[in-house]
Amino acid sequence: MTQGLPFAGHIFDGVFSHLALHYFEPDVTAFVFDEIRRVLRPGGVLVFAVKSTKDPYYGRGQRLGDHIFARKGHVRHFFDEEYVRKLLVDWTDISTDAYGGTYASSEPSAFIRAVARTAV
Ligand SMILES: C[S@@+](CC[C@H](N)C(=O)[O-])C[C@H]1O[C@@H](n2cnc3c(N)ncnc32)[C@H](O)[C@@H]1O
């Protein structure tokens, strides 16, 4: 994904990503979002969820950058609404919401999810 998506442009109606976009530094994250936009058709929909800055792991471990921390070998880039909106600046029909839950363990986590559409 960080090397570019292996697909022609404008071929998908939708892209869904669940907890897979919050591992990268800002320039790589922006590149991945550009790639997602490239493969979507005009009016295509992106739905994604990522770890949020409200997550209990936020701020734990070694700080690598703004909202980026490495803990026990895992690098996580925690998103807030402002960062989501910045990444989606060229998108339309954006909605976001924060929610809590668990993933792969019983530990409570905090996530942010967003829905957005490419410009027609
Ligand atoms: C928390 S898991 C989520 C997996 C799945 N989407 C789900 O909801 O069960 C994070 C996923 O991101 C993937 N991942 C992390 N860094 C990646 C990278 N650089 N390129 C592609 N996938 C990556 C991991 O392999 C892992 O499958």
Is residue 78 within 8 Å of residue 51, measured between CB atoms?
Answer: yes
Q: Which atom of ligand 1 is nearest to the CA of 20?
A: 12
CA-nearest residue for atom 24, ligand 1, is 20
pTM above the 0.85 mark? Answer: yes
Residues 117 and 109: their CA atoms lie apart, in Å, by 27
Taking only the tens of pLDDT, the chain with its 120 residues reads 999 999 999 999 999 999 999 999 999 999 999 999 999 999 999 999 999 999 999 999 999 999 999 999 999 999 999 999 999 999 999 999 999 999 887 789 999 999 999 999
Q: Please indicate whether residue 19, judged by its CB atom, sits closer than 6 Å to ligand 1.
A: yes
Q: Which domains does the chain have, with CATH numbers?
A: 12-118 (3.40.50.150)
The DSSP secondary structure of 65-120, one letter per residue, reads: ETTEEEETTEEEE-B-HHHHHHHTTTEEEEEEEEEEE-SSSSS-EEEEEEEEEE--
Cα-Cα-Cα-Cα torsion 62, 103, 30, 56, nearest 10 degrees, comes to: -40
Q: Please indicate whether residue 71, judged by its CB atom, sits closer than 6 Å to ligand 1.
A: no
State in Å: Cα 4 to ligand 1 middle: 15
- Altogether, the residues listed in the chain come to a count of 120
